Amino acid sequence: MLVLGDVVDDLLVRPLTAVTPASDTRAEIRHRPGGSGANVAAWLGALGVDVTFVGRAGHNSAGEHVSTLQRHGVDPRIAVDRERMTASIVLVLDEQGERTMYVDRSANTGLTMRDIPDDVWRDVAVLHLTGYTFFDPATRPVALGVIAAARRRHVAVSVDPSSAAYLREAGADAFRDWVAGVDVLLPNSVEATVLTGLSDADAAAEQLTASCATVAVKLGGGGAVVRTSDGQQLQAAAVLADVRDSTGAGDGFAAGWIAAWVRGDDLAGRLAAGLEVSARAVTVLGGRPH
């Protein structure tokens, strides 16, 4: 299993009282390792999947990111950027655990095909990418290049669009062109609507199967719906969880789905695994298993 994507230093901020503009607000503030791609890899490693992660981090914390991923059983191939700092995100959490994010991509923008050694492809069955690598013009050639490399090697590809805001900015038609032909697309309901113009998740998933073999639309507390290009349709309710932080819920779903996929589970098993890991992810502060 190969994951390519972002490495981030997360700063999570949870206000403990009503926010006081232009003054002080008591808050819980925590530093956590993050990045959607790195989070998926961490969950996969924790689930016992043999996984390699490729990304780029700044000299200030690359070593720390290598160590934290190794603790989850990941083989991290993190290129060290000597000129840029590691990407950082400030995540402000509301009372429901939903987050607003302020993003500085920094070292992530420097990722190139040279950062992907040939040996990472050994015995790989699935490549996973997140939308952030596509949305950044500096790294879009890497996303497209690695998909082409996967196809040459007959490696399956899954993609999580990851950001409705960036998806709107890039344009639905452009993104659909970039991911045309991937084996699995994992949007949430808002992203599916942006991609299709359809508010009904099942209808959106069905439309997206015109260019992607399998589409699983995440519905948050509503579970998920799956459509395939050969006409299969599944829907399942969310696993009940005490939501502390929604950061990494989609990453957990992707990891659960992929873990079940590589061990040979059927579509229902993949959906159930995705929902179970997503439920685990929202109970912890940050986007990775503790």
How would you classify residue 87: left for phi > 0, otherwise alpha for psi between -120 and 50, otherwise beta? beta
Q: Name the phi and psi angles at 52, rounded to 5.
A: -110, 135
| 227-243 pLDDT tens trace | 999 999 999 999 999 88
Q: Are 209 and 248 in contact (CB under 8 A)?
A: no
| 68-97 pLDDT tens trace | 999 999 999 999 999 999 999 998 988 776
Provide the CATH number for the domain around residue 52.
3.40.1190.20
Q: What is the residue whose two structure tokens read 């390792």? A: 33
Q: Is residue 80 part of a domain?
A: yes
What is the rounded CA–CA span in Å between residue 227 and residue 238? Answer: 17
Q: Is residue 131 part of a domain?
A: yes
DSSP state of 85: P
Compute the average pLDDT of residues 98-106. 88
Q: Are 225 and 255 in contact (CB under 8 A)?
A: no
Q: What percent of the chain has pLDDT over 90?
A: 87
Q: Is residue 286 part of a domain?
A: no
Q: Is residue 178 part of a domain?
A: yes
pTM listed for this prediction: 0.94
Q: Is residue 103 part of a domain?
A: yes
Q: Is residue 95 part of a domain?
A: yes
Total domain count, the chain: 1
Q: Is residue 94 part of a domain?
A: yes
Residue 237: which domain range? 2-281
Q: Is residue 288 part of a domain?
A: no
| 231-281 pLDDT tens trace | 999 999 999 998 887 778 999 999 999 999 999 999 999 999 999 999 999
**3-state SS assignment for residue 239:** coil
